[in-house]
Each structure stands twice: as structure tokens, then as C-alpha cells.
């Protein structure tokens, strides 16, 4: 089985390592990136991470060659690169909003830039590998998946490791193996909630909600006061922080003097220079060592800046092998491939067309929800109506996503302003109009 990867970001070696899993049936992986040297470097790191694997890893200079006759195509691009993310987030802060690449103004700018590129690749896959499943990991994942499914290629699902990470943290807080935990989850990408937690079939939601210590252990930083979680009666995913406590997020970014995108841009530049130098010297072991150190620094600082006002540059070094993590990008991508190849249905959270699972949203809207998945595709499990406490927010964010997709396709600044105006984080016409013009470069044809 052939798997193609479009977009070779810094997590690509993790994915390649995951694809070496015995029994998965992947014999060949082709990598494509608009910067060919990056695909070559990521291929070398992937081979070094799993030196005993027989998996064939090929870096391609041509996207058509990479995807042709593939069984799966993993879409993970970053239009504008980390430099674009850093600029987007700085503009958001200058307008008085927290800078974050998937939510708020910066997430909006990311979407404007990304939708046209994503549609291009989705159309390419539909032509060159019409039976392939596209697995979209490109942010903002739900919005991009909806654009691709509606306008280019219906054989697409979106993945995100956020729900799986929350389920894992819930299992740790309860002191139970993950396989004994079942979470009733629903929402949109980076806008989801756990409504019920079962431990070995017993509902333990109330037990968890009444325990401050356990609730505080669910997140990488102190994002939500336990009183807030109890008032909802549900456990929010970490990205709700930018909706529920947007002032604190901005305050912490101002205190540090940087956004996470700006800090990662600095870290990436430093890593890229040192890692590529080692690669060109033929010292791939040194390059892999630098790569592991970078991932550990990045993972250790996750949400620390926004939630605690701590700089990623000040985080202590962590001696841990990120390839062995229980959750993460490579795990969820491999799970999706395994499920979509299987004869027997597997249960996993995906970003898919709603198809009536959440009656408050349109059937064609992409939602993030548990599905039964096999080789025939994903079937969303009905979630019922949205709870009153989150209905308005969810509907508003989905409306924003629809308008943003239209604005990106039409390259229309007034429509872009309207989309931002409907975003609950912005909700101000003057700010929306100014931001739409500030981000207008993302609407121009490349």
C-alpha cells in the first residue's frame, strides 16, 4: 500500500515512524513539499528513526508523482510557513486579540491563505488517485476539511490529536488504562467538549467534575478554573481557552512579549540551520538528536505561554523519546489509516460531514465527532442536539467557518470582514474591517 504525504512539516518523521508499524500494510511512502530539500531531510530523518524498517521512503519533486495511485494521501501543509504564522499572530495582538493560528483573527488569516492551496491539492488527488482517502491535518483542520469536501474531493476526513490527548489525560487523572475509558465527545475542531466519561462502563463524570485536583491535571497549563468546568457540566478541549478566557491569553502574550508562533519561528530557524548542517555533513544521527531535542522543547512548552505566561525559550530540557508517545500526530494518522483499511468498524473521533449527527448543524457541515470507521468510510455516531450552554457558540463558529471559506474562494475583502465580524472572539465591525484589510495579502493570488 502506498501513502503519500503533501507538506513535510517538522512532525513528518514522527508520521514516517508511525507508518512502519507492523501489520499496517504500508510498503511505500512518497513525500512532497514545495521546498524539495525539506522533503529530502524529513525522509532521511524518518529512515534514521526506524533503521530496521523495510518501508520505502521517497522524496518527490513533483506533487502528481507523489500522489498518483496512492491509497492514502496525508495533507499537512503550512501556507506561508512559520513566518506567515508569526506575522498573522502579531497583527492579531496589535489589534487587541490573542494571536493563535487556528482561532480568532490569526486562525482566520491562516484559513484565507490555506483554502486555495488545499483545494488545489484535493483536486489533484481526485484526478490522480481517485480511490484514495485524503487525511487532512492542515489547520484550521475542520474548516479546511469542510472546504475540501464541499468543493474538491468528497473522500476526505480531518484528523486532530486534541480529542485523543484529552481522553488520555482523563485516563491519567482517573488512574485507569485508556482502554477502560470511554468519552462522549462532540463539537467542531478546536471547539469540542466531553459530555460524559465512563470507566469500565460506569458513568464517573460527576466524580471527575467535583475533583479540583483531577480537573487541573487535564490540561498542560492552568487553562480553566474548576468552577468554569463545573458550570458547563462538561470538559472543554484546551482551545476553548481562546474563547472562554481570551483576555488572559492576550495578557500573557503581552507579558512574554511574543506569541507562540513567533517563539516557534525562532526555535525552528535555529533547529533548521543546525539540523540541515548536520544532514549535509552526512551526520544523520546528530540531525536526529537535534530533532528529538526540538520536539521535547516544543512539547514541554505547549500552552505554557498562553496559559501561564511562560516563554518556550525558558523551558527546561526534557529527556524523553517523542517517537514513543502514547498520543500525537503520528498515532492519530496511523489510527485513521488502519480504521479506513479495516473490515470491522473501529470507533474514533474524526472531522467528517455531519449527516444529521448534530441536528443543530447542516448535514454538509464538518463536525468533530466519534465515528464508526471501516473501509467503506466513516459513519458519524448521532450526538443529539447541542447543549444549551454551547449551542450559540458552536453555531456562530460554524457560520464563521462557512463565510471564511467563501471569502477565501472569492478573494473578497468585504466578505472576509463579515466572516471575522461573526467570529465570537472578534464580534466588532471596526476591528473586523481593519483586520480583513490587514490580512488582505492572504486573499491575493500567489
Element spanning 194, H or E: strand 191-199
Q: Exposed (0-12), middle (13-18) or buried (19+): which is 282, by Cβ within 10 Å?
A: exposed
User: Which pLDDT score is estimated for 314?
Assistant: 61
> In the predicted model, is pLDDT for residue 272 greater than 60?
yes
User: Which pLDDT score is estimated for 316?
Assistant: 53
Residue range 372-381: average pLDDT? 97
> Are the beta carbons of 370 and 378 closer than 8 angstroms?
no
User: Which pLDDT score is estimated for 318?
Assistant: 61
> In the predicted model, is pLDDT for residue 207 greater than 90?
yes
The rounded distance, in Å, linking the Cα atoms of 391 and 170 is 24
In tens, the pLDDT along 338-365 reads: 999 999 999 999 999 999 999 999 999 9
User: Which pLDDT score is estimated for 441?
Assistant: 87
User: Rounded to the nearest 5 degrees, what angle is found at the Cα of 92, between the Cα atoms of 87 and 98?
Assistant: 115
Residue range 95-116: average pLDDT? 97
Torsion sign over Cα 429, 430, 433, 434: negative
Higher pLDDT, 74 or 266: 74
Percent of the chain with pLDDT over 90: 83
Residue range 395-412: average pLDDT? 97
> In the predicted model, is pLDDT for residue 446 greater than 90?
no
What's the mean per-residue pLDDT of the chain?
Answer: 94
Torsion sign over Cα 17, 111, 229, 308: positive
> Are the beta carbons of 289 and 344 closer than 8 angstroms?
no
Percent of the chain with pLDDT over 70: 98
User: Which pLDDT score is estimated for 350?
Assistant: 98
Residue range 51-65: average pLDDT? 94
Instruction: State whether residue 46 is helix, strand or coil.
Output: helix
> Are the beta carbons of 263 and 313 closer than 8 angstroms?
yes
Given the C-alpha cell 508520521, which residue does it identify? 15
In tens, the pLDDT along 287-325 reads: 999 988 888 888 888 888 898 888 766 655 566 778 887
Residue range 400-425: average pLDDT? 97
User: Which pLDDT score is estimated for 140?
Assistant: 97
Question: Could you tell me the pLDDT band of residue 383, with boundaries at 50, 70 and 90?
Answer: very high
> In the predicted model, is pLDDT for residue 445 greater than 70?
no
User: Which pLDDT score is estimated for 157?
Assistant: 98
Amino acid at each position: 500500500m502506498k501513502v503519500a504525504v503533501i507538506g513535510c512539516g517538522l512532525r513528518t518523521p514522527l508520521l514516517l515512524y508511525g507508518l512502519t508499524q507492523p501489520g499496517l500494510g504500508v510498503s511505500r511512502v512518497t513525500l512532497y513539499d514545495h521546498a524539495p530539500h525539506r522533503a529530502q531531510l524529513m525522509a532521511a530523518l524518518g529512515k534514521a528513526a526506524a533503521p530496521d524498517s523495510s518501508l520505502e521512503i521517497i522524496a518527490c519533486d513533483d506533487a502528481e508523482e507523489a500522489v498518483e495511485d496512492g491509497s492514502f494521501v496525508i495533507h499537512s501543509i503550512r501556507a506561508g510557513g512559520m513566518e506567515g504564522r508569526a506575522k498573522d499572530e502579531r497583527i492579531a495582538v496589535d489589534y487587541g486579540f490573542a494571536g493563535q493560528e487556528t482561532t480568532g483573527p490569526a486562525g482566520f488569516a491562516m484559513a484565507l491563505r490555506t483554502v486555495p492551496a488545499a483545494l488545489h491539492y484535493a483536486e489533484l488527488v481526485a484526478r490522480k488517485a481517485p480511490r484514495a482517502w485524503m487525511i487532512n491535518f492542515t489547520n484550521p483542520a475542520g474548516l479546511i476539511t469542510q472546504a475540501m469536501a464541499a468543493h474538491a474531493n468528497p473522500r476526505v476526513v480531518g484528523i486532530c490529536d486534541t480529542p485523543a490527548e484529552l481522553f488520555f489525560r482523563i485516563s491519567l487523572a482517573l488512574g485507569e488504562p485508556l482502554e477502560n475509558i470511554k468519552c462522549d465527545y462532540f463539537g467542531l475542531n478546536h471547539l469540542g467538549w466531553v459530555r460524559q466519561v465512563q470507566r469500565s462502563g460506569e458513568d464517573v463524570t460527576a466524580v471527575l467534575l467535583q475533583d479540583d485536583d483531577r480537573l487541573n491535571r487535564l490540561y498542560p497549563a492552568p487553562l480553566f478554573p474548576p468552577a468554569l468546568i463545573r458550570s458547563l457540566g462538561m470538559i472543554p478541549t484546551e482551545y476553548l481557552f481562546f474563547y472562554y478566557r481570551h483576555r488572559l491569553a492576550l495578557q500573557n502574550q503581552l507579558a512574554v512579549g511574543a506569541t507562540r508562533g513567533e517563539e516557534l519561528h525562532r526555535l525552528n530557524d535555529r533547529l533548521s540551520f543546525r539540523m540541515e548542517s548536520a544532514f549535509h555533513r552526512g551526520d544523520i544521527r546528530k540531525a536526529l538528536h537535534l530533532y528529538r531535542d526540538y520536539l521535547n522543547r516544543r512539547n514541554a512548552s505547549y500552552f505554557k505561554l498562553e496559559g501561564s505566561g511562560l516563554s518556550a525559550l525558558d523551558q527546561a530540557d526534557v529527556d524523553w523519546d517523542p517517537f514513543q508517545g502514547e498520543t500525537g500526530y503520528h498515532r492519530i494518522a496511523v489510527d485513521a489509516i488502519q480504521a479506513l483499511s479495516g473490515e470491522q468498524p473501529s470507533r474514533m473521533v474524526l472531522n467528517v460531514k455531519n449527516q444529521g449527527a448534530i441536528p443543530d448543524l447542516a448535514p454538509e457541515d464538518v463536525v468533530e465527532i466519534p465515528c464508526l470507521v471501516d473501509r467503506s468510510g466513516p459513519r458519524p455516531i448521532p450526538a443529539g442536539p447541542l447543549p444549551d450552554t454551547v449551542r450559540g457558540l458552536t453555531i456562530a463558529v460554524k457560520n464563521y467557518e462557512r463565510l471564511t471559506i467563501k471569502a477565501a474562494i472569492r478573494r473578497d475583502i468585504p466578505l472576509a470582514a463579515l466572516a471575522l465580524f461573526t467570529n465570537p472572539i472578534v464580534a466588532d465591525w471596526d476591528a473586523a474591517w481593519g483586520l480583513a484589510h490587514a490580512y488582505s495579502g492572504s486573499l491575493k493570488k500567489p
